[in-house]
Amino acid sequence: MKKVLLDIRDGIATITLNSPDNFNALDEHTLGALAAIAADVDRRGGVRVVVLRGAGKAFCAGGDIARFAEVGDRAHDFINSLGPAIQQFVQWLRQTPAIVVAVVHGPVAGGGLGLMLAADVVIAAEVATVAVAYARLGTSPDAGASYFLARTLGYRKALELYLMSERLDGRQAQALGLVNFVSPASSLEADAETLIRRLAAGPATAYGSAKRLFRQAADTALHQHLDDEIRLFSDNTRHPDFAEGVRAFLEKRPPQFGVAAKAQSV
């Protein structure tokens, strides 16, 4: 059985963590598959939205603790060997111009939290649970979890979640800003599909530019950010989506982004 599945259709790449028996825990095989899939998506091109989800009951429980126990005294070297792959995938989620949507239907913890927070948009079930969980193992966060938590929540709240090992439900996670949208479990799939289709129908090139600008805003000096904003704005006017957006505005109709670009590529 493949540890990670990839399905691409209609400009949407769905990446499914597929180890339901251990709650999609991350091991060397899963991380290697994620790195290969990221490269595959980049090679194919034309992907407008990336969807990250988990099979079975959980989104992702983080690292494979049974595997940690198995390697025993070699855990230090084993964890270091996993680092490049998880770091590469987290970086890819942040840097791909496609909008990344995490669909969280069940538990997410540890490194899985890092993957969820690396997404651009998160939709979760009310019954989903979010936990930092590292303190219970006697270790500190990885997979970008501390980075994303501190930037989203600030130092004190981020550290509190780590120290207290709190478990949040979907609504609590949304109230803190860790999740964008929350749905009843019964309607999560339909609501997620509506959201994903809406994003896939948007101006992908402009979305990619906006994603880059919002991501870098906390790290870039104002003068540089202003330069980047105007450069990307002007670059986007060369894309057929801009012409379609202007026409649709003047004609008082919904824009159909991507149609002109597809026609030009035929």
Question: Mind listing the domains of the chain with CATH numbers?
Answer: 4-200 (3.90.226.10), 204-265 (1.10.12.10)
Beta strand 12-17 with 4-9: parallel, antiparallel or unpaired? antiparallel
pLDDT value at position 191? 98
In terms of Cβ atoms closer than 10 Å to its own Cβ (0-12, 13-18, 19+), residue 218 is exposed
Residues recorded for the chain:
266
pLDDT value at position 1? 84
Q: 53, 105 in Cβ contact below 8 A?
A: yes
Whether this prediction's pTM lies above 0.95 is answered by no
Secondary structure letter of residue 26 according to DSSP: B
Within 14-154, residue ranges assigned H as helices are: 28-44, 65-71, 75-95, 111-118, 134-137, 145-153
At residue 266, does pLDDT exceed 50? no
Within 96-144, residue ranges assigned H as helices are: 111-118, 134-137
Question: What confidence tens digit (pLDDT) does each residue in 181-201 have?
Answer: 999 999 999 999 999 999 999
Which tokens in the block code for residue 65? 């603790």
Q: 85, 26 in Cβ contact below 8 A?
A: no
Closest CA to 132 of 123, 152, 121: 152
Number of neighbours of residue 189 by Cβ within 10 angstroms: 14
Q: What angle do CA 155, 183, 8 make, to 5 degrees?
A: 90
Question: What confidence tens digit (pLDDT) does each residue in 49-106 have?
Answer: 999 999 999 999 999 889 889 989 998 999 999 999 999 999 999 999 999 999 999 9
pLDDT value at position 161? 96
Amino acid at 38: A
Mean pLDDT over residues 118-135, rounded?
Answer: 96
pLDDT value at position 259? 64
Q: 114, 90 in Cβ contact below 8 A?
A: yes
Tell me the backbone φ, ψ of residue 208, rounded to 5 degrees. Answer: -60, -40
What distances in angstroms separate CA 149 from CA 143, 194, 242, one per listed residue?
Answer: 11, 27, 35
3-state secondary structure of 36: helix
pLDDT value at position 171? 98
